[in-house]
Amino acid sequence: MALSPTRRSVVAGIAGTMIAGRAGAIATRDPDLGPNVLIVDPSMPRAAVQARLDATFKAMESAHFSDERHAILFKPGRYELDVNVGFFTQVAGLGALPGDVEIAGHVHVEADWLKGMALDNFWRGAENLSITPPDGMDRWAVSQAAPYRRIHLRGDLVLDDGGWSSGGFMADCRIDGIIRSGSQQQWFTRTSDIRRWEGSNWNMMFMGVDGAPATSFPKPPYTNIATMPVIRDKPFLHVTKAGDWAVFVPAVRRDAHGVSWGDGLPPGTSIPLSRFLIATPTMTARQINAALARGKHLLLTPGIYRLDAPLRIERADTVMLGLGLATLLPQNGSKAITVADVPGVVLAGMLIDAGPVMSPVLVEIGPRGSNRDHRANPTSLSDVFFRVGGAVLGTADTCLEVNSHHVIGDHMWIWRADHGDRANGRVAVGWDRNVGNQGLVVNGDDVTMSALFVEHFEKYQTLWNGERGRTWFYQNELPYDPPSQAAYMAGTTRGWAAYKVANTVSDHQAVAMGIYANFTADPSIVLESAVEAPRKPGIRFANLTTISLGGGKGTIAHLVNDAGEAARPGAIKQTLVSYP
């Protein structure tokens, strides 16, 4: 879908006007962020802004595989609005702190379009806001790829809408009321302050969360770790008190707990927007790469970037930030992004879509053989999502390959589509159609992944070859569509593990893992082990769950190697507290 001429002119007109910032700020002209970015100022008529929000939501409520992308950005101030967040829509405040933008109303996600079922409420987000709902409650009924970041909610938060939901992710938030998870199958919350959490189903994990429930896995299935060993929060756009635009890049936090902004602006660097290339979907890879080579950072405005070559990051500390789930789509079997073995690169807020010709890798962090020590200044990925098929008939051997050391992953959904739109009259999914072999391959050492969602790949979902890897929360559904056991064999082993640690590895840890089978094409299929790993003292797993979905469509014979009972028809759920 494209913006109608009327909507395009209204949004562009609002975004391009001369607007004053906060009280006492210098009036400046806003940057041109394209027709799909709505910049809202407190001086704008409330009714006009609400009409624009309602029109965007109406277009995007059920736009499951749309090409349309939107960002709605609020300048510092107070707003009485109802912000209903649909597909491919990012809602964000432009203050330095969440309290700089107050929404006296709701910023919410419902599942009305699916009669309360939120299982498909993907690809959207809210961040850097304070929200005061007039009825004391807000709703964020989502599943994967729907981050809730840097929010101060003065009220309760409900995470479902009556039907099933399969989220989710919350980070750097302060929730004054009660969080009710409802039907959420799993959820990861980190470095936040919460009053109380109620509810559980399969796998709820908290890291560095003040007020979180204590570990009680598997009844209820809570995992609580007091601090986050290492994390870098996602960068964000903001408008300075002088009215200038900049991107704030938070510093790496170690042994972190609670919100980063509780005592004011956290450590980090504010980079003027003048140092960014403001990219548009009409730009070529050559144009963007020329700017990167000159030392520019990159701000991707909303839209689909059809690339005939990879975007190449060669310089340390380069920031690539997407707005409105800006989407990179390789056209001829190339990679989408390559990053040199340099420190401090930040990738955030984007969707990587596989193209019609198989790419060997969609995003490569460091070339193979990378060996530099980046512990003082690691590269990080935040809200970086991958999709193979669904919207277009895409194909990729591996979505994300991490070769550099000390990389931090902070919320990723790596998805081979199990359902989709029609491409050339045919649904853009199928065992021999949207081929995706591996979701994530980690070759670098000391790599940390938190809130890692990887689903439906045809071989290993995650393959870990590097030393001292850490995964904090893992969610996986195995592929639905293997046509037979014979088609789903890793050599002589029945099926491909959802999480494979190579036999050469001596030190690895993963905590809070949920792995689910739903072999709808052939329910007789058996996966030998959800997790395969060497039997060594330094290899440890904790708080695992396996489920045979659909009442028993398929079998997972063991949880780790040969440990644990089978999730199967008649015994559909199994848990394992620790391995070994």
Out of 364, 477, 528, 532, pick the active-site residue. Answer: 477
Q: Which residues, other chains included, contact 575 with Cβ-Cβ below 8 Å and sequence gap of 6+? A: 217, 218, 221, 543, 544, 545, 546, 559, 564
| Cβ neighbour number for residue 44 with a 10 Å cutoff | 17
H helical segments located in 261-410: 285-293
Query: Would you say the C-alpha torsion 560, 561, 564, 569 has a positive or negative sign?
Result: positive
Phi, psi for residue 84 in degrees, rounded to 5: -95, 120
| Six-digit token string for 436 | 């995706």
> Rounded to whole angstroms, how far apart are CA atoms 464 and 561?
15
Q: What are phi and psi of 48, to 5 degrees?
A: -65, -40
What is 53-115 written as a DSSP string?
HHHHHHHHTT-TT-S--EEEEE-SEEE--EEE--TTEEEEE-SSSGGGEEESSEEEB--GGGT
d(CA 126, CA 140): 10
What six digits make up the tokens of 122?
A: 């993907």
Is 477 one of the catalytic residues? yes
Nearest to 302 by CA among 478, 124, 427: 124
d(CA 7, CA 142): 27
The residue written with tokens 């939107």 in the block is 70
Catalytic positions, written as ranges: 477
